[in-house]
Structures are given as structure tokens and as C-alpha cells.
Structure 1
Amino acid sequence: MSQVQVGQPVPDFTLPGSNGKDVSLSDFRGKNVVIYFYPKDMTPGCTTESCDFRDFHPQFGELDAEVLGISPDDLKSHVKFIEKHGLPFLLLADTDHRICEMFGVWTLKKNYGKEYMGVERSTFLIDKQGKLAREWRKVKVAGHVEEVLEAVKQL
């Protein structure tokens, strides 16, 4: 499977969603879609990022944009994360990191001298026609959601 490219259609995919249903990208055709990939539920950076998307959720909605979070965590973990922080959008479980690989965010990481495979915090903006409009890789959380919201306004 080749990696998605800006300006190209994003292949449809389906993952288990925190709503208990399988969720496909094609379910949102005709809307702008913001997909943010994050390493792990309940960790400080991921919590801050998810809560920022939560706090700006009404503004994304006004721009006809859906927000989806994807991590390798399972649905049980996602549901706890949503309940603890009042997240108003779906989290999708990519436990085999197939979609992370499709977006090129499943990468070799280093922490305290140890190497391991994990998710590189990244966000992708897909336009109403299903094409990848923008991407943000190696995201720093502070101010990121505002930047994504600005990009959606420009579509």
C-alpha cells in the first residue's frame, strides 16, 4: 500500500470506532475531515492535543469538518479516554497500525536510548472531494489545533 500524498485522493479505509461501529472514511464524503494520529490514550501530550480538538470542536463543525482521532489503542481504552475528557468526536482503533502505515506515521522512535516502533504525532486534512489537502508531521501540540482550524477555513 503506497503512502498518501498531498493533492491525491485518500484511499477509503475502515476501522472500529468508539461508537461501537465500523467507521469508514467514505462515511464522511462531502465533508472536510481532520484526522489526527496520536501515540497513546491518557498520556500528557495526547490528552492535551485531544482536549484542544475538543475545545475547538464547535468551530470545526461550523466549517463542515469532522474530527477523527486514530491511535493503536483498542476501543476499551478509547472509550475510557473519551469519557474521562468529554471528547465529542470518534476515536478509531488502528491496533494493527495498517492505517498508520498508509499515512506514513508508523515510524521508528527513540526514547531514553531505546528504539521502538510507534506513532509519529501527525494530522491530515482531507477535503470534501476526498483528496489530501494538507499534512502536518512531527506535530508540536501547542497552537497546532488553531493552525489546523485556519487551514480548514481556507478550503
Structure 2
Amino acid sequence: MPKITLTTKIKASKKIVFNLSRSIDLHKISTEHTNETAVAGKTSGLIGLDESVTWRAKHFGVYQLLTSKITEFESPNLFVDEMVKGAFKRFRHEHHFTESKGVTLMTDYFDYESPLGFLGKLADKLFLLKYMTDLLKERNRIVKDFAETDKWKKIVKE
């Protein structure tokens, strides 16, 4: 079961970074390369506790549906989304936020299990772990870009 941990330093308030991170609209921007679209549940705005979103995206040349739900929520310090339905056997994505001297540390813990037993584990080693890490890094790059400029004002209210 692969685990990805990423920490991103962002020169912006924790509240802004937290809200950008749970924005359906910003997620769409950060995943434009996969044609990701919210097709059910919460499809725009800020997702919150017990809300779910179903995404349709193209990965590895195939369109897939993935539904995740916010299972924990402590504004503006933490939220957790977990897969309800999709290609993975399971996943849990923890989003943690701490702030010190105008810098927010956004830490992601992404823990997932691929389907297909041995074949899934082989896929993790060959390409899937890197692919998932790159997706999260791109998402974090977009959050950082919006938070550190006035672009965030197009997505969330202060």
C-alpha cells in the first residue's frame, strides 16, 4: 500500500490555503490535463464535511469515474477525503495545514491501495506511484500559485 507525503510551503494565510485546497473549481483547474470534471454531488464551490463529489477524468487513455467523500473536517486545520467508489481498492487523502509567520505548510498524506492484487502492486512500482505523486505535486503547485497571488480571489472569499 503506497503512501505519499508532500509538504508545500505557501506564503499565504492558512484560511486561504485551506479553502483553495477544498475548492472544486480550483481542482478542475489543476487537473485540466486529465479533462477532469465534477459530474455529481458537489460540483462547484467549497466542499465540506459529509459532502461528496464524483469526478470524471481521463487517466491512461481511459475515462474513469471516482467518487470521494469528506469524512473529517476541522477548519482551517484539516480535512480528509476518502474514495467511496472508483478504480482504486481504496484511498484516503489527509490535508493538513499549519501556519507560522505568514507561511502556511500544507501537508498531504495520500494512502491508497491498487486493485488487482499482485498486478496492482506491480503497477504501483512501475508507474502508478510516480503518476499519483505527480498529480498531487501539480495540484499543490496550482494551490500555491493561486494563494500567493491575487488569483485566489476568483475562487474563494476571504
Q: TM-score, normalised by structure 1?
A: 0.29
> Please, what TM-score do these two structures have when normalized by structure 2?
0.28
Larger-gyration structure (1/2): 2
Greater fraction of residues in strand? 2
